[in-house]
């Protein structure tokens, strides 16, 4: 029988939990890139597991299913993206509409600078079924990672947005329409003809941003 001093030290429960957490974070990080590159349906759990250096079963042990893995990757992705009020202070000081237009005008720049989380967020909106859409929608409502409700309340306090319409209603609408308009700006595949139909018209993009904000103003701006 080996001497006690020769036996490997038993890990404490805290050490085991920390190791499991570290492994989970590595899996999520690799999964984000795989889903960004291949889409939800094209992303393969076995490829993700192989890159991390764990068994495929370990991924299922940590996340339950491929859907659970993508949900964790999606939550990580949108939580790393900037919120509306993360715009420069001098822009925020100009108010709600100036801040909104600042983000819209720089959509492609920010997507290109942080492509993986932006791509995962887009895949969550378009490349998943109802089984994933429900938990994604619940997460977006409960966590509000872009700070949309805070942004809307900021506009209401400044007198730029209507005070007679529920702020959560306006935030939900802004999330939905702004995301899809920005998707149209960045992806010709998702553009219903708003931006990319006339590539020979260089002013078309700026005009569409102006028209988009005009339509929003008609609905939620203070009369």
Q: State pLDDT tens for residues 24-48.
A: 999 999 999 999 999 999 999 999 9
Sequence-distant (6+) residues with CB within 8 A of 59 are 27, 45, 48, 49, 52, 69
164 with 104, same domain? Answer: yes
Q: Please tell me whether residues 34 and 87 are part of one structural domain.
A: no
pLDDT recorded at residue 191: 45
Domain extent at residue 172 = 82-223
Residues 146 and 91 in one domain: yes
Share of the chain above pLDDT 70, in %: 87
- Residue 9 has a pLDDT of 57
Buried b (16+ CB within 10 A) or exposed e, 39-60: bbeebebeebbeebebeeebbe
89 CB burial (10 A radius; 0-12, 13-18, 19+): exposed
Q: Kindly state the DSSP code that residue 15 receives in the 8-state scheme.
A: H
Which residue in 148, 159, 174 sits closest to 85, CA to CA?
148
pLDDT reported for residue 5 = 52
pLDDT of residue 109: 92
What is the end-to-end Cα distance of the chain in Å, rounded? 85
Residues 178 and 163 in one domain: yes
3-state secondary structure of 82: coil
- φ, ψ of residue 222 to 5 degrees: the values are -60, 130
Rounded to an integer, the average pLDDT of 119-144 is: 92
Taking alpha carbons only, the member of 115, 81, 119, 85 closest to residue 102 is 85
pTM exceeds 0.95, yes or no: no
Pick from 10-14, 87-91, 127-131, 171-175: least confident: 10-14
**What is the per-residue pLDDT across 146-200, written as a single tens digit (0 to 9) for each?**
999 999 999 999 999 999 999 999 999 999 999 989 988 887 655 445 444 555 5
Q: Are residues 109 and 146 in the same domain?
A: yes
Note the pLDDT of residue 201: 57
Listed residues 51, 80, 109: the one ending a domain: 80
Distance CA 182, CA 166 (A): 24
Between CA 40 and CA 119 the distance in angstroms is 11
Assess whether 19 and 42 both reside in one domain.
yes
pLDDT digits (tens, 9 = 90+) for 80-112: 999 999 999 999 999 999 999 999 999 999 998
Q: Determine, yes or no, domain membership for 205.
A: yes
Strand, coil or helix: what is 20? helix
Q: Is the pLDDT of residue 210 over 90?
A: yes
| Mean pLDDT taken over the chain | 89
* Nearest Cα residue to 105 out of 197, 209, 200, 217: 209
Is the residue at 46 inside a domain? yes
Using only C-alpha atoms, the chain has a radius of gyration, in whole angstroms, of 22
| Structural domain ending residue among the three candidates 53, 80, 107 | 80
CATH number at residue 25: 1.10.10.60
Q: Are residues 59 and 112 in the same domain?
A: no
């Amino acid at each position: 029988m080996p001497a006690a001093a020769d036996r490997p030290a038993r890990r404490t429960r805290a050490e085991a939990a920390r190791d499991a957490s570290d492994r989970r974070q590595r899996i999520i990080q690799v999964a984000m890139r795989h889903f960004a590159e291949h889409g939800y349906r094209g992303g393969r759990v076995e490829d993700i597991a192989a890159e991390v250096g764990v068994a495929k079963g370990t991924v299922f042990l940590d996340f339950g299913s491929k859907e659970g893995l993508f949900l964790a990757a999606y939550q990580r992705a949108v939580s790393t993206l900037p919120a509306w009020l993360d715009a420069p202070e001098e822009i925020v000081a100009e108010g709600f509409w100036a801040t909104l237009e600042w983000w819209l005008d720089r959509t492609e720049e920010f997507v290109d600078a942080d492509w993986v989380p932006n791509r995962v967020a887009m895949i969550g909106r378009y490349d998943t079924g109802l089984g994933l859409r429900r938990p994604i929608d619940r997460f977006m409502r409960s966590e509000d990672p872009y700070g949309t409700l805070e942004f809307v309340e900021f506009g209401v306090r400044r007198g730029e947005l209507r005070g007679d319409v529920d702020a959560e209603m306006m935030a939900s609408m802004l999330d939905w329409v702004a995301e899809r308009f920005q998707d149209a700006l960045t992806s010709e595949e998702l553009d219903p003809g708003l931006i990319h139909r006339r590539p020979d018209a260089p002013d078309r993009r700026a005009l569409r941003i102006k028209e988009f904000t005009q339509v929003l103003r008609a609905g939620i701006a203070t009369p």
